[in-house]
């Protein structure tokens, strides 16, 4: 009886092991046939080349400027006014990092992201410099709330200064410390400032209701909050990555490359 039990137990582990190995093999075979980031090539090309991308960024900053002028004129707040902006794909263009992922046939990972950050070579999103300097001329303080890692603070400040944003200093840059949710950082800034505008490429840059939400919830909240966009929230295009992909398309799941491909096809609406 005991020997039979051991046999069944061993058989179970043998089968489990085969399943894992087969899946691993299939994934590897797939990655050899199609580079795992091949599907993002067009998105990166669009950001780097399409004049429409450039036009959308200028449009976003132009609306931000109009709103800021309006808030400065109309504000009755006792607190100084402030703008909170995200950094990546809002002020700095990291598309060369996405190119690196395509050419190296790898997914985003912390190691390569930190290495890219240390180069301090991200360029400006079109229109960013003019908007930041305009805000400063109006006496509006600019806070940078980003989910770059806390250890990236020095190179982030350096990168911003290299592209001409001389006024940036570490005390105005709030990076990710323990959690990716930005609400506590926004609250902290709101204690001393009247935050009139938020700029970002990811809905979580604007409100915590978007944190961790799936595709349909994200879309529902956008409809509910539709009057805030172009008013207090200024959205920038980012077709390369974001919660729209990880939490939306891939439903916040850890998926193999084949499962991701299937999920992408499944989400296409005919």
Rule CB under 5 A: which residues touch Mg ion? 86, 88-89, 201
Q: What are phi and psi of 164, to 5 degrees?
A: 110, 0
| Residue number, 81 or 91, with CB nearest to Mg ion | 91
d(CA 139, CA 133): 10
d(CA 24, CA 18): 10
| Residue number, 93 or 201, with CB nearest to Mg ion | 201
Measured CA to CA in angstroms, residue 107 lies from 12, 37, 39, 251, 257 at distances of 32, 7, 12, 17, 10
| Residue number, 71 or 205, with CB nearest to Mg ion | 205
Measured CA to CA in angstroms, residue 219 lies from 129, 203, 226 at distances of 31, 10, 10
Shortest Å distance, C-beta 269 to Mg ion: 26
Shortest Å distance, C-beta 55 to Mg ion: 19
| Residue number, 89 or 93, with CB nearest to Mg ion | 89
Q: In the structure encoding, which two tokens stand for residue 91, read together?
A: 């002020």
**78: DSSP letter:** S
**202: DSSP letter:** S
CB-nearest residue to Mg ion:
88
Burial class (CB in 10 A: 0-12, 13-18, 19+), 19: exposed
Tell me which H or E stretch contains 233: strand 233-235
| Residue number, 89 or 155, with CB nearest to Mg ion | 89
Burial class (CB in 10 A: 0-12, 13-18, 19+), 153: middle
d(CA 84, CA 170): 14
| Residue number, 155 or 201, with CB nearest to Mg ion | 201
Shortest Å distance, C-beta 80 to Mg ion: 25
Shortest Å distance, C-beta 116 to Mg ion: 14
| Residue number, 88 or 155, with CB nearest to Mg ion | 88
């Amino acid at each position: 009886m005991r020997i039979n039990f051991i046999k069944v137990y061993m058989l179970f582990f043998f089968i489990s092991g085969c399943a894992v190995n087969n899946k691993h093999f299939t994934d590897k075979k797939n990655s050899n046939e199609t580079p795992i980031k091949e599907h993002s090539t067009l998105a990166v090309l669009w950001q780097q080349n399409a004049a429409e991308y450039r036009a959308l960024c200028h449009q976003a900053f132009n609306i931000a400027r109009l709103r800021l002028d309006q808030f400065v004129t109309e504000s009755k707040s006792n607190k100084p006014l402030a703008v909170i902006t995200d950094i990546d794909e809002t002020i700095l263009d990291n598309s060369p990092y996405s190119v690196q992922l395509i050419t190296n046939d790898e997914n985003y990972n912390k190691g390569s992201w930190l290495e890219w950050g240390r180069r301090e070579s991200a360029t400006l999103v079109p229109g960013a410099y003019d908007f930041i300097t305009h805000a400063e001329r109006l006496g509006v303080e600019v806070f940078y709330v980003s989910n770059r890692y806390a250890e990236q603070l020095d190179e982030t400040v350096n990168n911003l200064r290299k592209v001409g944003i001389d006024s940036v200093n570490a005390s105005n840059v709030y990076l990710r410390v323990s959690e990716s949710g930005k609400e506590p950082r926004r609250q902290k800034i709101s204690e001393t400032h009247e935050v009139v505008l938020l700029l970002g490429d990811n809905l979580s840059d604007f409100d915590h209701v978007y944190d961790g939400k799936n595709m349909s919830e994200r879309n529902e909240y956008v409809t509910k909050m539709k009057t805030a966009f172009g008013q207090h929230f200024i959205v920038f295009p980012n077709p390369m990555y974001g919660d729209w992909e990880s939490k939306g398309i891939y439903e916040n799941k850890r998926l193999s490359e084949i499962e991701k491909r299937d999920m992408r096809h499944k989400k296409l609406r005919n």
